[in-house]
A and B are shown apart, each in its own frame.
Chain A
Amino acid sequence: QVQLVESGGGLVNPGGSLRLSCEASGFTLSDTYMSWIRQAPGKGLEWVSYISSNDPYVNYADSVKGRFTIYRDKAKNALLLQMTSLRAEDTAIYYCARTYNSGWDLNWFDPWGQGTLVTVSS
């Protein structure tokens, strides 16, 4: 069964760092595009970052560029998101999702994990 499980969320001070993990089962994560998507409290969905399959290409939303890094741990079949210089506006539930693509274009996301909550507050 294809499944994604996120972990690593928590409470962090502004300016702090956090690393999120997304462990995959039922498929090899490095064979597909993968994305991080977040939902701030009371808000809609916002794409954060994606990584391509093989010879990975990465891309970030302008709101996180230069602060977040997406990468894979092939040995653990996991997707990671290193978040630094965190701001209050980064407070959100973070979801990982397998990403269907056409060349460089992203199509849809399936499945999604249950999410992990990141709270940035002093």
Chain B
Amino acid sequence: DIVLTQSPATLSLSPGERATLSCRASQSVVGSLAWYQHKPGQAPRLLIYETSNRATGIPARFSGSGSGTDFTLTISSLEPEDFAVYYCQQQRSNWPPVIFGGGTKVELK
């Protein structure tokens, strides 16, 4: 099975700073990646699908890139509402049909 490793586990930043979140696959990803934002007590929210497409209503400060085994979610300038946990997810996985990374927590410095 493919394993998605997200790094760092925790990112301590201030509003206005740039956040770079990594998602590395244990083997080349045939499909693409999706990214989600999750705040405590709330529903997870789709940010990015097909590696680089922003979901409806997602601000332009969120962007996704990558291919093969290395993928990145970038938040160009953190807003106060961006402090949350972010998960990557492999699309079109063979088995299991859904694979999530372990998450990166973006916390206020």
Contacts and interface: CB of A to CB of B under 8 A. Distances in A.
B30 to A, nearest CB: 10
B67 interface: no
Contacts of A100: 49
B100 interface: yes
Contact of B103 (A35, A44, A105, A106): A44
Contact of A61 (B38, B41, B43, B96): B96
B72 interface: no
Contacts of B96: 47, 61-62
The 10 A-B residue pairs whose C-beta atoms are closest, nearest first, are A47-B98, A110-B46, A105-B92, A108-B34, A112-B43, A45-B100, A108-B49, A107-B91, A112-B44, A44-B102
Given A44-B102, A44-B103, A45-B87, A105 B46 contact: no
Contacts of A112: 43-45
Contacts of B50: 107
B101 to A, nearest CB: 7
Interface of A: 4, 35, 37, 44-47, 50, 59, 61-62, 95, 97, 100, 102, 105-115
Interface string B40-82: 0111111001100001000000000000000000000000000
B8 interface: no
A105 B43 contact: no
Nearest to B87: A45
A97 B103 CA distance: 18
A114 B93 CA distance: 25
B22 interface: no
Nearest to A6: B43
Contacts of B101: 44
A44 B87 contact: yes
Given A44-B103, A45-B87, A102-B92, A108 B97 contact: no
Given A107-B34, A107-B92, A113 B98 contact: no
